[in-house]
Structures are given as structure tokens and as C-alpha cells.
A and B are shown apart, each in its own frame.
Chain A
Amino acid sequence: MYNQPEEFVEAAAGTEYDPYSYSGYAQQEGDFEMHTGDPRQDLAYERQYEQTVPSYIIPEVIKNFIHFFHKCINEGNLFEVNNLYESSFNKLTERFFKNSPWPEAEHVAPVVDRDPLFVILYKELYYRHIYAKVTGGPTQEQRFESYYNYCNLFNYILNADGPVPLELPNQWLWDIIDEFIYQFQSFSQYRSKLIKKSEDEINVLRQSPKIWNVHSVLNVLHSLVDKSNINQQLEVYASEGDPDSVAGEFGRHPLYKMLGYFSLIGLLRLHSLLGDYYQGIKVLENIELNKKSVYSRVPACQITTYYYVGFAYMMMRRYQDAIRSFANILLYIQRTKQMFQTKSYQYDMIMKMNDQMYTLLTICLTLHPMRIDESVHSQLREKCGDKMLRMQKGDRQVFEDCFSFACPKFISPVAPNYDAPRNNLQKQPFTLQLKVFMEEVNQQIMIPTIRSFLKLYTTMPISKLATFLELNDDDFRNHLLCFKHKMKNLVWTKGTSGLEGEFQSASEVDFYIDQDMIHIADTKVARRYGDFFIRQIHKFEELRHNLKKGTSSS
């Protein structure tokens, strides 16, 4: 039923205007071969087909794996599918396809009775592996093919009259959405790097404006959100009702429900990549960020959510909210780290994000010093203590470096002008965000210095401190006003919308001015022993436990 090219575009229905539809570009004909309608590509496709067909034989162990994988998916054996997906596939990759692609779908198809759905799922893994591991990365053609494959997958899921009979592990569903956006991001960067491209490649790009078009990507995510009624479900869930009561036929089905939820996180990410932080937080308005929920069981999804939420808050100068987001998730990673270590492909990604978030947290705490969880703080001192000191001293370069390392890979939603002189433009969106960030930093650059002076006194005349800082009274007063203004942030207090909040200041050093006198209030923190002892006792307990296990088994 799903290989009929049918439009799933729901939101645009009823209006004649429809520039977003991509289904016309994702036609599928009987036998898994896709024709693009572009003779050049089709030709290239066929050439490649001829080259590889005759000689390739799939190793028996791979054949068995695929056969079994197919069977488990068809039988809906979720437990086994999860195992094959998370473990076996990666082990086989490690053994046979460390830096080379898995067998092409055409060769795999006969093993699974040419089951079209399985072939799509297989291709999803196939291309993802090429993006992640294969030396040289995907070719232009593979980028296109992978796009068509996602179109087919989403058409199958979204165009059905009733929920499709497919269940996949949550982790896989998350990875599908995550990868879909990653490949879009990767393509956006790819098409902006014009210098090393051949004339042919540029011609094909020019003629394919709809491939990985931002509207299509948004459309997929919005359609999944709408189809699953996930927003309505979350609303009911937040008020402690039964989400099923509003889920509808599709939304009750785990496949749709989870894809809907992950699409919201996908939208957060997509909007952030485009520099639209407001919309990023806004799409999550039905998700209770500060509460554990049944939807939050995929760690990679949790971590991604908080990374982008924290980043968006940082850009909105909502430092307290950013700090809370980062500190919460970093604590979570710290506590659950061992769990990921077994899944290497996730581990690398999570550790990278972990480091990025420590860096972002360092930036936020430099601009807005406040107390955070002790164990996160001690990690932070270890990883970024030096950077923090230099930022506190007003070293702009360190701010820039930290931002560059830790920010998302920003993209432009539009194709470059292929007819203009060739240039590499992929950095432009990043440069813009960096510029905005640095303008904020520059506005605040004096504050850490002023703070360090204020810390020394309880009362101080404006004019005297101005002299210390070699400023005239008026300028110094402006700095003081700026200090107060920048330290008063909007802070989330209640409700599900992350955009709401009230103005608060929780800065460690605070002050007020009475006419010409500054009155300073510092925060004194007594040394904490209890936390340290508790952790040591736990460590000791663990050690004792392990020793015991060791002796009893030998």
C-alpha cells in the first residue's frame, strides 16, 4: 500500500499553495529502484548498479543476521529487535564493515523476500552507517538516495489509512528522527561548500532544490506531531489525565506516539540550528521539562533536549534557566554513564555533548555566578577551571573559543547562489550567532571585574570605587546599572511553557545604591563536608561489594 506515491501533506491540504510537498520526488517503482526523474542521476545510478551486481556475495553470517532481523521485525518481537539493533548490528559492523559500507539494499532484498518495508529500514541503517563510519563520507548521490529513503519511510507511516503494523524500539525511533535532522544539517553544510565541487555536482544541486529542502524537513516533523496528537496527549498527561483519551487512532499506537514526541525534540533542534531559539523552546510548551515522564526513557533524547534547551536559554540571557538545564542533565549523565559505555556508538556522541555542556555551563557561570550541584561543580573545575578564570579576567578569545567548540552546527535554510563566484559559505550562519553572542559578552565584559571589587567591601562610595577602576563617576554608575540589569534574568517558575518566567536575580554578589553609596551583599558559603563523606562512603561500599564478588567467584 505504501509504494503508491501519495501526498501526505496534511497541513497544506485545503489550500492550493503547496511548495512543501516532496512526495513527487520520492517516487518508488515496483522493485525498490527509485527513479529521480533526472536522467543524469538515473544513469549514474544504473552505472553503479551494473558495477557492483555480478561480483558481490553476502557473507553467510550477514545473511543469517538479516534473515533473523527481518523475521523479528515482522513478528513484532520488540525485545529481540532491540537487541539486534543496539548490539548485533554494531558488533557485525565492527567485524565486517568498520570503514566500508554494508551490502547494498539490492543484494539484501532477495534474502528478505523483497519485503519493501524491511528494505527501507535496512537502507536507513545502511546510509546512517555510511554517514558515520565510511571513509570519505557519503557521496552526493548517497545523500540524495538517503533522502528518498526517508521520504519513503515517512510516506509509508503517514499516508496509511490506519496505523501501520510496525513497532520499533524507542531508541531506534529516536535515532531515525535524530539522523534525519543530522543528515539535513550535513547536507545544508555540504551544499554551501562550493569550492571543491565539480561542475556536474553543482549542476545536479542546482536542479534539485527540493532535496533536503527545509520545508520538507519541517513538514515531516509537523506531520508526525499532528498525526500523533502528541501535543494534546502531553497536555492531558500534564494535568494527570489519560493521554489515550485524546490520542486518537494513530496516537495510541506506540510508533506514532513516540515519533510524535521525538519530532518535537527534532523541531527544537532544527529551530536552534536556524537561530530561532524562541520557536525552539516554544515547540516544547507542552513538555514538562523539570519532571521525569514516560516519554523521557531514551537517554540520547533526554540529553539532546537539555543541550538545546540550555543553549537556547543561554542565548536568551536566561542564565539561571540555562544553568539549571545543564546542571540537571550533567548530573544525570554522571550517574548513568556506565549504562552507555556498552553502546559505543552512543557513548561517543554523549561524551562529546557532555563536554560541550560543561563548556556552556562554564560560560553561563562566568556571566552569572551561582551555586550548583557540588559533584557537577567539581567536574567543571577539573575540565574547565582554567577557561573560567580567563573568561572572568575578560579574555574575549576564550569566550569565542568556548562558544565555537560548544555551539550547535548552525545552518542556512536556503541554498547558496550557485551562479555567484564559488566560495565556502557554510560558516556564515555560525559567524552570525557567534557575533550576537560576543556582542552580549562585550556588553557584560566589565561585570566580573566589578564583581571582584564589590566582593571586598560591604559599603563603598561610587566615586571611590570609580577611581579604583579608573573610570569617571558617570561611566561607572552606568556599569553598575548594567550589572543590575544583566543579572536580573527571566526565570522559569511554574507551568509547562519554558518561555514563561519571572524576573529574578540569584547572583552571588548583589548590591544596591543609596544615593552615592553602594551597599554590597555577598553570599558566604560554609564548607560542605557531608556531601564529600557521603560520596566517599558510597565509593567504599562499592569497592567492598566488588571485592566480595571477586572472592566469592574465584
Chain B
Amino acid sequence: MAENMRRSVSNLMRGIDRYNPENLGTLERYVELQSKENAYDLEANLAVLKLYQFNPMYFQLNVSAQILLKALTNLPHTDFVLCKCLIDDVHQGEDQIMKVLYLHDLLETCQFRKFWVSVPQSEVLMGIVGFEESIRKYICHVVGITYQHIDKSVLSELLGDASDDEIKMWMNKYGWTPKDGEKIFIANQEENVKPKNITEKIDFESVAGILATSAQ
């Protein structure tokens, strides 16, 4: 259903029509659908925020908060920042939005343990399907680019006290392997992270000119 809507919505956003406030209803329903079906469409969501920016009287707090939460599910991409730039200061001061901003800050600064404590389940999350799973994906991304080996207990903590089964699930997903009992092998980082030596290279082109003039 969200897939079908993606197509029809993208037609709404061509050219000047994307600023037509009459489309707002459809776009807001689409946000709702994204939450329910675990789908995501940044461009459509930004179009909603832009319409609010152009028509402040149509602003809806719930929809905006929902858009921000959906943007969190697309970390490590910076969608959240893009959304934030379109929501004015007054609305960013609203309690509901502030809570989401706080969650974003925790995730961006990788304070995952605090995040799991702060995420007070249902009310702020507005029943967004697959929210926590998406956040865990992001956390796994950060672990994946940082660690060569990680203690199982540390990984479990980062993922919000994940059970052994859950950890196994994530390990399978990313091809991480157990090692010596309590350790997990993530990736061979030595390949990607090694000291670089940059020596000077002068290309022929830059010298050719000099040689040509001095030969005159």
C-alpha cells in the first residue's frame, strides 16, 4: 500500500504543485501509512514540512513529531537534521518535539545506554512500527565501522540489553562470528584503517609548461 502511494505521491511533488496546500491531506495520510507499514519517504515528508512552513496555520504537531521519529529510523543518514531545518523555533520548543530532539541528540552522540533508558516506550514513539529495530540497525552500523572484536556484554548493552537470541540474530544478519566464548569478531579493520603516507607527486602537465618556456 505504501509502495503504491509512493508512486502517486511522487506525481504530486513534481514542479510547482508540490507547494499546493490542497495536497497536504494526502501527504499527511502518507506519513501515517509510513509509520504503520514501516516504509519511508524522506522527500514526501520534507514536502509536508515545507507546506507547514509556507502555511503555518496548517501546522500539525503530531505529524511533525512523526516525521522526525521516522527520520531517526534512517540514521546514520542526516535526514533528521534536514527536517529540523524546516521546523521553526517555536514549534521546536513544544514538549512533544523536544522529546524527539533529545532522543536524536543521544543517538548522534552514541549515548546508546541513555537512549534505551530514555525511550519511554509507547507515548513518544506514537506506535511507529519497526522503530526500535531500525535504531538497532543504526547501532550495529556504528559498531561495524568501529570494532574489530567486541565483548558480547558490551554489544548487548549498546543494543539495549539484548538477549543472547537477539544478539545471535544481529550476528547472523551482519556476518559477525563468535570468538573465544565472550568475544565477537566484527570485521578486520586493519584493512580499512591503516597509516597513510602521502608523498608528493608532480604530474607531467605541470612541468611541461615550464620546460616549454625555458626551452625558448
Residues of A near any B CB (own CB < 8 A): 11-12, 15, 17, 20, 214-215, 218-219, 222-223, 226, 274-279, 282, 315-318, 371, 413-414, 428, 431-433, 435-436, 439-440, 443, 458, 474, 478-482, 484-486, 488, 490, 503, 505, 510-515, 519, 521-531, 534, 537-538, 541
Given contacts A278-B46, A413-B54, whether A432 and B200 have CB atoms under 8 Å apart is: no
Interface residues of B in 17-70 (CB under 8 A from A): 17, 19-20, 22, 42-43, 46, 50, 53-56
Looking at the complex, which one of A435, A481, A515 makes contact with B110 (CB distance below 8 Å)? A481
Residues of B near any A CB (own CB < 8 A): 15-17, 19-20, 22, 42-43, 46, 50, 53-56, 76-78, 81-82, 84-86, 88-89, 92, 105, 108-113, 142-143, 145-151, 183, 189-190, 192-200, 202, 206-207, 209-210, 213
Looking at the complex, which one of A11, A488, A490 makes contact with B17 (CB distance below 8 Å)? A11
B150 touches A515 (CB 8 A): yes
Looking at the complex, which one of B105, B146, B198, B213 makes contact with A513 (CB distance below 8 Å)? B146
B109 touches A484 (CB 8 A): no
Residue of B nearest to A317 (CB): B78
The 6 A-B residue pairs whose C-beta atoms are closest, nearest first, are A512-B189, A481-B110, A11-B16, A275-B85, A514-B148, A530-B202
A534 touches B202 (CB 8 A): yes
User: Interface on chain B toward A: helix, strand, loop, or mixed SS?
Assistant: helix
What is the CB-to-nearest-CB distance from B85 to chain A, in angstroms, rounded to a whole number?
4
- Across the interface, which residues of A come within 8 angstroms of B76, CB to CB? 485, 488, 503
A218 touches B16 (CB 8 A): yes
A278 touches B56 (CB 8 A): no
- Across the interface, which residues of B come within 8 angstroms of A226, CB to CB? 15
Kindly state the separation between the CA atoms of A239 and B17 in the bound complex, as whole angstroms.
Answer: 28
Kindly state the separation between the CA atoms of A226 and B149 in the bound complex, as whole angstroms.
Answer: 55
- Across the interface, which residues of B come within 8 angstroms of A538, CB to CB? 209-210
Given contacts A519-B193, A524-B195, whether A278 and B15 have CB atoms under 8 Å apart is: no
- Across the interface, which residues of A come within 8 angstroms of B89, CB to CB? 428, 431-432, 435
- Across the interface, which residues of B come within 8 angstroms of A480, CB to CB? 146
Kindly state the separation between the CA atoms of A490 and B81 in the bound complex, as whole angstroms.
Answer: 14
Looking at the complex, which one of A219, A316, A443, A512 makes contact with B109 (CB distance below 8 Å)? A443
Looking at the complex, which one of A222, A432, A505, A514 makes contact with B15 (CB distance below 8 Å)? A222
B200 touches A530 (CB 8 A): yes
- Across the interface, which residues of A come within 8 angstroms of B88, CB to CB? 428, 432
Kindly state the separation between the CA atoms of A222 and B88 in the bound complex, as whole angstroms.
Answer: 26
B110 touches A485 (CB 8 A): yes
- Across the interface, which residues of A come within 8 angstroms of B190, CB to CB? 512, 519
A277 touches B145 (CB 8 A): no
B148 touches A524 (CB 8 A): no
- Across the interface, which residues of A come within 8 angstroms of B145, CB to CB? 484-485, 488, 505
A526 touches B197 (CB 8 A): yes
Kindly state the separation between the CA atoms of A278 and B48 in the bound complex, as whole angstroms.
Answer: 13
Looking at the complex, which one of B111, B150, B199, B209 makes contact with A478 (CB distance below 8 Å)? B111
What is the CB-to-nearest-CB distance from A481 to chain B, in angstroms, rounded to a whole number?
4
- Across the interface, which residues of B come within 8 angstroms of A279, CB to CB? 46, 50
A413 touches B53 (CB 8 A): yes
- Across the interface, which residues of B come within 8 angstroms of A11, CB to CB? 15-17
Residue of A nearest to B22 (CB): A17
Kindly state the separation between the CA atoms of A481 and B53 in the bound complex, as whole angstroms.
Answer: 35
Kindly state the separation between the CA atoms of A435 and B210 in the bound complex, as whole angstroms.
Answer: 50
Known: A481-B110, A519-B190. 11 other contacts (CB 8 A): A219-B16, A278-B46, A413-B54, A435-B92, A478-B110, A480-B146, A488-B76, A512-B189, A519-B148, A522-B196, A541-B210
Kindly state the separation between the CA atoms of A534 and B208 in the bound complex, as whole angstroms.
Answer: 11
Kindly state the separation between the CA atoms of A454 and B75 in the bound complex, as whole angstroms.
Answer: 26
What is the CB-to-nearest-CB distance from A227 to chain B, in angstroms, rounded to a whole number?
12
A218 touches B78 (CB 8 A): no
A436 touches B200 (CB 8 A): no
What is the CB-to-nearest-CB distance from A470 to chain B, in angstroms, rounded to a whole number?
18
- Across the interface, which residues of A come within 8 angstroms of B207, CB to CB? 534
A514 touches B147 (CB 8 A): yes
B20 touches A17 (CB 8 A): yes
- Across the interface, which residues of A come within 8 angstroms of B55, CB to CB? 414
- Across the interface, which residues of A come within 8 angstroms of B16, CB to CB? 11-12, 20, 218-219, 222-223
